Amino acid sequence: MLRCAVFSTKPYDRQFLDQANSESDGGHRFDYLDVPLNDRTASLAVDQDAVCAFVNDVLDAAVLETLAGQGVKVIAMRCAGFNNVDLAAAHRLDIPILRVPAYSPHAVAEHALALILGLNRHTHRAWSRVRDGNFELDGLLGFDLNGKTVGVVGTGRIGEVFCQIMQGLGCRVLAYDPYPNENCTAMGVQYRELDDLLRESDIISLHCPLSPETHHLIGAPQLRLVKHGVMIINTSRGALLNTRAMIDGLKTGRVGALGLDVYEEEADLFFENLSNKVISDDVFMRLTTFPNVLITGHQGFFTSEALANIAATTVGNLTAFDRGEALENRVIS
C-alpha cells in the first residue's frame, strides 16, 4: 500500500482512480489535491510515498528535490507525455517516473478528426447560426476530405490510428517519423521527409512528442513550404507549433484553418473555469478571434475508456513499485 498525493485532481480523476483502486489488490491511499504541482505546492505532499501528476504539473529539479526531501519515492504520471518532467533530476534523485504509455490512441485520433470535420464543415458556427435563426450557408463552404492529402507527423500509437481513420475517409496519407511504423507502411501510408510532407499536404496533423528537437517543429520557415490554405491540427503538445507564426500565417491565409487541442501556454488556462476572469494572454485571445480556428482545452484523452485505462495503469504502476516488481512503464532517464 502506498500513500499517494494526487495533484491537479478533478472530480473525474477521483471517480476513476477510486474505482481502479477498489478493483485492484494494491489498496493505495490517495490524497486528492485540487491544486497543480509546482514549487509552491510541492510541500503539500507530506507523509507521502508517491505523487501522481498530470500534463501541466511542473516537475522540474526544484520540485523533485522538494518531493524527494519529503520522502516521496516514486512519481506516477497519469498521462503519456512526460515533457514536463526533469528526467535528469529524477535520475539523480533516484525517483522512478512511471507513466501511462497507451490508454486509448483512439480517443486522441478521433478528437483530431473532430477538429478537422468541425473546421472543414464549420459545424460549431452552423450550430450557433441555427440557434439564432440564421440559416444562411454563406461562409460555411467546406471541401470533400475524400482524395485530399493528409500529412501525419509522428506515427506512433495515436498517429497509426489517425492514419487508419483518414485512409477510411479516402485520403492519401503521407507521414514523417524518424522511426517509420511497419503497420502504417503496410496500410499504404507513404513516408516522406518533413519538408516534402509540408509541401504536399492539404491537412497536417501532429502526433509526435514534445522534446527539444520537436519544439516549434512548425514555425515561420516551415510555413513558407506549406500549400496556401493548409489546415493544421495539433492534438499533441502546444509548443510543437510556434503560435505567433501560426497567427501570422492565418492573417495571410497561408494557414487556412487551425485546430488546436493544446496550446504552448495552456498551463495558465486549461482545465479551469476562467469565464469570470480577465484572460491576459493576448496571443491566445487573438487566436480565438479567427473564424477558421477551433480550439478545445486538451480534451483529446477525455473518453470514459481512456480514463478507465489511465486509472487502471496508474494504480498498476504504483502497485508494481510497491512490490518491487519490474517497472514496465518507467520512463528511461
Which residues form the interface with ligand NAD (CB under 6 A)? 80-81, 102, 105, 108, 153-159, 176-179, 207-210, 213-214, 235-237, 261-262, 298, 300-301
Q: Is 136 a catalytic residue?
A: no
- Of 90 and 153, nearer to ligand NAD (C-beta) is 153
- Cell numbers at 110, concatenated: 478521433
Q: Is 193 a catalytic residue?
A: no
* String of DSSP letters for 180-228: --HHHHHTTPEE--HHHHHHH-SEEEE-S---TTTTTSBSHHHHTTSPT
- Of 171 and 208, nearer to ligand NAD (C-beta) is 208
- Of 49 and 261, nearer to ligand NAD (C-beta) is 261
Give me the residue label for grid cell 503519456. Answer: 80
Read off the DSSP letter of residue 104. -
Q: Rounded to an integer, what distance in angstroms lies between the CA atom of residue 119 and that of residue 305?
A: 26
The HSE-up count of residue 120 (CA atoms within 13 Å, CB side) is: 17
Task: From the candidates 99, 122, 237, 254, give the one annotated as an active-site residue.
Answer: 237
Q: Rounded to an integer, what distance in angstroms lies between the CA atom of residue 206 and that of residue 239?
A: 11
Residue 305 Cβ vs ligand NAD, minimum distance, rounded to whole Å: 13
Count other Cβ atoms within 10 Å, centred on residue 311. 26
Task: From the candidates 266, 286, 323, 325, give the one annotated as an active-site residue.
Answer: 266
DSSP helix/strand/coil, 326? coil
Q: Rounded to an integer, what distance in angstroms lies between the CA atom of residue 139 and that of residue 123?
A: 11
Residue 321 Cβ vs ligand NAD, minimum distance, rounded to whole Å: 22
Residue 209 Cβ vs ligand NAD, minimum distance, rounded to whole Å: 3
By beta carbon distance, the residue nearest ligand NAD is 156
Q: What are phi and psi of 153, to 5 degrees?
A: -100, 105
Q: Is 237 a catalytic residue?
A: yes
Residue 125 Cβ vs ligand NAD, minimum distance, rounded to whole Å: 23
Residue 226 Cβ vs ligand NAD, minimum distance, rounded to whole Å: 16
Task: List CB contacts of 232: < 8 A, sequence separation 6 or more.
Answer: 203, 204, 205, 206, 218, 226, 241, 246, 255, 257, 258, 259
- Of 67 and 75, nearer to ligand NAD (C-beta) is 75
- Of 118 and 156, nearer to ligand NAD (C-beta) is 156
Catalytic residue annotation = 237, 266, 298
